Amino acid sequence: MNLTGRRTKGKPDLMRLLDTFDLLVSFDSPSYGERKICNFLKYRLSSLGVKVEETAVVQKPENATKEVFQTGKQMPENFQRKESPAETAFNENTAQQDGCGNLYGYLPGTLDLPPLLLSAHMDTVEPSRNKEMVFQADGRITSAGNSVLGADDCAGLASIIEALTVISENHIPHRPVEILFTAAEEPYCAGAGQFDFSKLRSKEAYVFDLAGPVGGAAYQAPTIISFTIRFCGRSAHAGFEPESGIHAVKAAALAVARIPCGYVGSILGKDSSGGDITPEIYAGPKRTDAESPQISAKPEVSGAKSSQISAEPENRGAGSDTDRINADKSKNPAKISTINIGTISGGTADNIVPDACTISGEIRSYSDAEAQGWLKEITTIAEQCAESTGASAEVRHTTHFHAYCTDLSHPVVRRFESACGQLNLPVNLCRTFGGSDNNHLAYHGIAGLVVATAMNNCHSCEEYTTIDELDRAANLALALILS
């Protein structure tokens, strides 16, 4: 595979871009274990004149697990990555701790224009250890097959780094640029949830974290709420004194039977102004000045207190192909909210009346008010079913994201369309039913899009990117900065 002859002055250098992508992929960077990739990114950003600050280490749940995977590597004959002078230092530093904080960077501008924020995340889903990229004859770049590739989101990181490098080496006049590389994005954007958004000066942002062809962008995403309900009864011997027991599994089963799953209709029926709800006005609440600039990552409790429940990783975020929602369907009010019961567990033995049973699930909706309304309905159902059997119910929930909808006439959308036009990229504005760091940005008053960034089949060992798409993503990042 010959990759020569692909460099133009003032444009991304394809070989350098692939070199950066290769190095980023090679780092072990599971959620809450991004120290090596963080150190590298700090070094590269600093070398480009970016003022870099790492925030406090993003905290991980106590029940987080680690897995180790092995893979191989195959490279094209003329592709060789030279070792960075900082790589040895990276390895020495990483022995001290695995976790890291979010990376915030600011590049002063040479033009009197408003600043612009570019964002991507540093972690990858499992299996993510010993990742190495394999060049295929058809131009695809894959893993060896027993790990993810990590294009989600190394493609985003590499694209932004390359755009900044082109600006630096060519002394191109540009607006001020802010950079936010988050840690632990995959587990419901935990890193962004712990970031102090008062640091940001930008009012517009592009989050490089969507699957599909470059030129795509998501302008709307849902509120996502996870919930856990613990039903408490009383144990008794099922053969000798079953009448003394209170059957917690039966209480849970009654609730599961009553809680609607899949697409659900409106629980409210009207918006806050009294008009009919339409998807076009769906948007989450904005933070007020009186509120903290950070979104709490701790679960909220409804009803009696119980032990803290850690959030499970978000398996399909904005970077997933399957999360794209057909625009026609999303105009149907019956298609804007979903509910799912994902797990149920309880009981200790076949001859014991179970004294405890726990179910867990999630709610997603383009309307924050609808999501909260369904949470209240589910809580009511749980309490009623528990009471009918003599049991009790403890409901806990975490609101991971608030819904947003970026106006399609907003300058952040127009700039994206213009940049794609310059690069002859077909524009595909879509909705997503997954969350991303852009949910947090929108909550804090920053208008943004989640842009497609050369990643496909995300969150699987079949993940891949292509050389041409990486090149397009880097060109898009450059065009957005220079627009």
Task: Specify the CATH number of the domain 14-220+404-482.
Answer: 3.40.630.10
Q: Which class for 186: exposed (0-12), middle (13-18), buried (19 or more C-beta within 10 A)?
A: buried
Residue pair 465/454 in contact (Cβ under 8 Å)? The answer is: yes
So what's the pLDDT on residue 334?
Answer: 52
For residue 314, the model assigns a pLDDT of 37
Q: Mean pLDDT per segment of 10 residues, for the chain of length 483 residues?
A: 62 94 93 94 96 92 34 36 44 57 96 96 91 88 89 95 96 96 93 94 97 96 96 96 96 97 83 38 44 31 28 37 38 76 96 97 96 96 97 95 95 97 96 94 97 92 92 97 94
pLDDT value for 446? 97
What pLDDT shows up at residue 6? 57
Q: How confident is the model at residue 203, as a pLDDT?
A: 97
Tokens, residue 209: 């974290």
Q: What are the domain boundaries of the chain?
A: 14-220+404-482, 223-401
* 3-state SS string for the chain: CCCCCCCCCCCCCHHHHHHHHHHHHHCCCECCCCHHHHHHHHHHHHHCCCEEEECCCCCCCCCCCCCCCCCCCECCCCCCCCCCCCHHHHHHHHCCCCCCCCEEEEECCCCCCCCEEEEEECCECCCCCCCCCEECCCCEEECCCCCCCCHHHHHHHHHHHHHHHHHHHHCCCCCCEEEEEECCCCCCCHHHHCCCHHHCCCCEEEEEEECECECEEEEEECEEEEEEEEEECECEECCCCHHHCECHHHHHHHHHHHCCCEECCCCCCECCCCCECCHHHCCCCCCCCCCCCCCCCCCEEECCCCCCCCCCCCCCCCCCHHHEECHHHHCCHHHCEEEEEEEEEECCCCCEECCEEEEEEEEEECCHHHHHHHHHHHHHHHHHHHHHHCCEEEEEEEEEECCEECCCCCHHHHHHHHHHHHCCCCCEEEEECCCCHHHHHHHCCCEEEEEECCEECCCCCCCEEEHHHHHHHHHHHHHHHHC
pLDDT value, residue 98: 85
pLDDT for the residue numbered 4: 53
Q: 223-401 adopts what CATH topology?
A: Alpha-Beta Plaits (3.30.70)
Q: How far apart are CA 268 and CA 449, in angstroms?
A: 28
pTM of the model: 0.79
Res 73: pLDDT: 31
Pair 287, 293: CB distance under 8 Å: yes
pLDDT of residue 277: 42
